[in-house]
Amino acid sequence: MSMKVLFPCAVGLALVGVGSIRAQDVPTPVTSGPTHVPAPAREETAATGGARPPVGLSSWITYAHDDCCGPIGGNGPIREELYIRTGPAMPVEGKLLGHVLDIGWDINAGGRSLFFNPQMDAAWTVDLGISNFNYQGQRSDIQFPLHVLVPDPNTGTPTGVDITTSLRNLNLTYANAWFGREWYRGAPANNCDMTWRIGFDIGGGLGSGRAEFGDVHQAGNAAVGGIRHRSEVCAFTGAALHTDLEMPHGCCTYLAGFRVEWQYNWTNMLQANDGQFQGVNFLVTAGVRF
């Protein structure tokens, strides 16, 4: 092939190659904004796991929650109370003790658990405590028989002797268990203001009693050195009505109220004599719930 033909072909191929290179090398347009714009933050919803919690102090530090004194459970919260009660104890019926006992004094202390409903306007209660009753005898002229063991003055052997005596003092100590119900009137227990409640309890107790006797009178010619006291197991069952004012302060609630109890007491310190009696107790209450 002659040079006249090759030279024009080589020039044509060169022009085509340069044109294709310039067509691919297109410069990137310059913009005045940033080259990368971040995607907008996605708002969390219930479908993506719930709303994002606000930044700040916990509601348990600032007390910004429904119950000013603690969280509310699924079936209502459980609260605890400590109390002390005291007041006169009046025997009202009993074949013997209902006549020979004067008005006594009752003092008791313990703790209560309150199982609130979710609205906190009612609660079931469990009350465990200890009570002590002290009665003085008022009829030294009423005598009753007892069969006691006294040492024989000659041999020292215990010998059964029948005596008559009177009651000088009766002391009863019980471990108590009460079960009851509370209702809040006007406002629930968590309203963080003064609240009034009423309620009732039923229950009982088991303990020990101590009877002290007066002058001893011999039966027959037996020599009796005297009997000073007897101790036996005692028990009671009863019911109570009460009303209280509640005064919240911080995370505690202070209580002041009045309570009336009816009790049926069993004692065996007087042997064959009727040692059962009923009593009504009028008590003032002071306590704290937390």
Give the other-Cβ count within 10 Å of 184's Cβ.
21
Distance CA 71, CA 76 (A): 9
Residue 252 makes CB contacts below 8 A (sequence gap 6+) with 69, 288, 289, 290
Predicted pLDDT of residue 67: 47
Average pLDDT over residues 188-212: 92
Q: Which residues contact 56 (CB under 8 A, 6 or more apart)?
A: none
Give pLDDT, residue 59: 53
Q: How crowded is the C-beta side of 260, counted as CA atoms within 13 Å?
A: 4
Lowest mean pLDDT of 50-64, 83-97, 141-155, 259-273, name the range: 50-64
Q: Can you tell me the distance from the alpha carbon of 259 to that of 272, in angstroms, rounded to the nearest whole number?
A: 34
Structure tokens at 177: 């268990």
Q: How far is CA 77 from the centre of its chain?
A: 11
pLDDT more than 90, % of the chain: 44
What pLDDT is stored for residue 224 in this prediction?
56
Residue 270's pLDDT band (cuts 50, 70, 90): confident
% of the chain beyond a pLDDT of 70: 68
Q: Rounded mean pLDDT of 198-211?
A: 95
For residues 186 and 216, which has the higher predicted lDDT (pLDDT)? Answer: 186
Asked whether the beta carbons of 201 and 176 are under 8 A apart, the reply is no
**Segment 126-153 mean pLDDT:** 85
254 pLDDT exceeds 50? yes
pLDDT at 216: 73
Average pLDDT, the chain: 78
Signed CA dihedral, 42, 43, 47, 52: sign only: positive
What is the arithmetic mean of pLDDT over 85-102? Answer: 91
Give tens-digit pLDDT for 214-226.
777 665 545 555 5
Domain spans in the chain, listed from the N-terminal domain onward: 71-220+231-289
Work out the angle at residue 111's Cα, subtended by the Cα atoms of residues 110 and 113, and round it to the nearest 5 degrees. 155
CB 240 within 8 A of CB 262: yes
Structure-token pair, residue 17: 């190659």
More confident call, 67 vs 167: 167
Say what the pLDDT of residue 60 is: 46
Pick the CATH number of 71-220+231-289 from 2.40.160, 1.10.3470, 2.60.40, 1.10.620: 2.40.160
Indicate the SS3 state at residue 51.
coil
Mean per-residue pLDDT, 52-81: 61
What's 273's DSSP letter?
S
201: alpha, beta or left? (left if phi > 0; alpha if psi -120 to 50): beta
Confidence of residue 63 (pLDDT cuts 50, 70, 90): very low
